[in-house]
Amino acid sequence: MNTVPLALQAAQQWCLSRGEKLTDSRREVLAMLLQAGGPLKAYDILASLQKAKPTAAPPTVYRALDFLVSMGLVHRLESLNAFVACEHGLTPHHQGVLLICQRCHQVTEVAGTASMRQLQQDAAAAQFTITAHELEIKGVCHACQQEATA
Binding residues for Zn(2+) are 101, 104, 141, 144
Distance separating alpha carbons of residues 136 and 98, to the nearest angstrom: 5
* Contact criterion met (CB below 8 Å) for 94 and 86: yes
| Inter-residue contact 76 to 83 (CB < 8 Å) | yes
**Local structure of 81: helix, strand or coil:** coil
8 Å CB contact between 111 and 88: yes
Binding-site residue set for Fe cation: 93, 133
Beta bridge partners of 84: 75
Residues belonging to the binding site are 93, 101, 104, 133, 141, 144
Q: Distance (Å, rounded) from C-alpha 72 to C-alpha 57? A: 23
Give the count of beta carbons closer than 10 Å to the beta carbon of residue 97.
Answer: 18
